[in-house]
Amino acid sequence: MKFIQFTSEENEIISTVERFIEERVRPNVMVFERDNIYPQQIVDEMKELGLFGIAVPEEFGGLGLRVPVFAAVMEVIARGWTTLAAYLNSHSTVAHAIKAYGTEEQKEKYLPGLATGEHRGALCLTEPGCGSDLQAIRALASDEGADYRLTASKTYVTNGERATLLLTLVKHPKQSAEEKTKFSLLLVEKSFAQVQVTTTFHKMGMGLVDTVQIEMDRVAVPKANLLGGIEGKGFHYLFESLEIGRIAIGISAVGLAANALSEALRYSSERVTFGVTIDKHQAIQLKLADMATKLVTARLLTMEAAWMKERGGRCDMISAMAKLHASDAALEIAHDAVKVHGGAGYIQEYAVERLYREALLYTIGEGTNDINRIVISRRMTGDEERAYLGLVR
């Protein structure tokens, strides 16, 4: 896939990733999944290609990809194997947050390691009992001179087992009842004393992407690890960075959908009933046409969000739309791919069985789709958003 909006160098990066996926990843996916083997060799090759640095500026050793190019690369990876895209999603969000808001010392300390994959980033946001209500978190960072003393319980941490750097949402103790609670983001190294993975969750899909609970029991976090060096900026930094996360997960869903449609097309061109391949039956043709249309609209909307993010404008509404629409479309396309396969679609030897299970996660992760609907509804009344939507007063 080539993009006329990209430079020849950017298109070459995409082509290189496509070759890697087709030659090294796609032929081995079923074996990794069937035998539950963590793809360490593939991850090492991703590091050599610089894929862990796609959101890291070149000056710190990364590829420094523009947001639309970042999205195109993520689709290619997810089209081959969504597990690999999941390794990069939250990692890239952490890298973006440090790039955008970190102090110079934080950038110099962490971005080179994130670029090479020596550091693996993860987001520690959700807590037991809080879900999407991040203002209800209990993680407390108390001021103790040169350090914060952090006590937190973070759950559903994607890549938390292998991550080395945890971007952690915390609140600070209030000095008075009238004072507003301040929320911040801390860069917590997994190696800090009293940081412990306590639970590994077993999921219905993406079993090779670890999802864990992490306990932080009075962890001493240097104040130098306060993202941006200013208390109380946590939500501002987080929500802007999550726009990148929503674009990443939206385009990953597009990649999954493209994979599912490819499988449906291949199977329907081989399966014979009533003397012809089933792609000659109108019922299958109508289904495939709808799947293709949903795929293209999901890709266009998500790339529109990426271009808007590239231009530097506020894009929480459009990124929420992209994540919502792309994940819903991916689930529908994966479901239809199973139906095109008929009974074979329920068998684990066929990729669509796995893709259907994985697609559901995209409607839940990075903000559930109902949360994204609320974001859209609240933002669409703004002047800039109304103008973008073409609404009249």
| Domain-ending residue, one of 209, 231, 253 | 231
The answer, yes or no, to whether residue 278 has pLDDT greater than 80, is yes
Question: Using 50, 70 and 90 to split pLDDT, how confident is the model at 374?
Answer: very high
Catalytic residue among 33, 366, 384, 385: 366
* CATH value at residue 81: 1.10.540.10
Scan for tokens 């559930």, then name that residue: 368
Indicate the number of domains in the chain.
3
- Angle at the Cα of 243 from the Cα atoms of 242 and 245, rounded to 5 degrees: 55
Q: Are 365 and 357 a contacting pair, CB within 8 Å?
A: no
Q: Could you tell me if 183 and 99 lie in one domain?
A: no
Give kind and range of the element (H or E) at residue 149.
Answer: strand 147-158
Q: Are residues 51 and 177 in the same domain?
A: no
Q: Based on the residue annotation, tell me whether 9 is a catalytic residue of this protein.
A: no
Give CA–CA dist 212/162, Å, rounded.
Answer: 10
The pTM of this model reads 0.95
Q: Given its phi and psi angles, is residue 119 left (phi above 0), alpha (psi -120 to 50 degrees) or beta?
A: beta
> What are the tens digits of pLDDT across the range 42-88?
999 999 999 999 999 999 999 999 999 999 999 999 999 999 999 99
Give the CB-side neighbour count of residue 63, counting CA atoms within 13 A.
Answer: 24
Give the structural domain span for 298: 235-389
**Within this chain, do residues 367 and 308 fall inside the same structural domain, yes or no?**
yes
CATH number of the CATH domain containing 276:
1.20.140.10
How far is it, in rounded angstroms, from Cα 346 to Cα 363? 21
Q: Taking residues 285-301, what's their average pLDDT?
A: 98
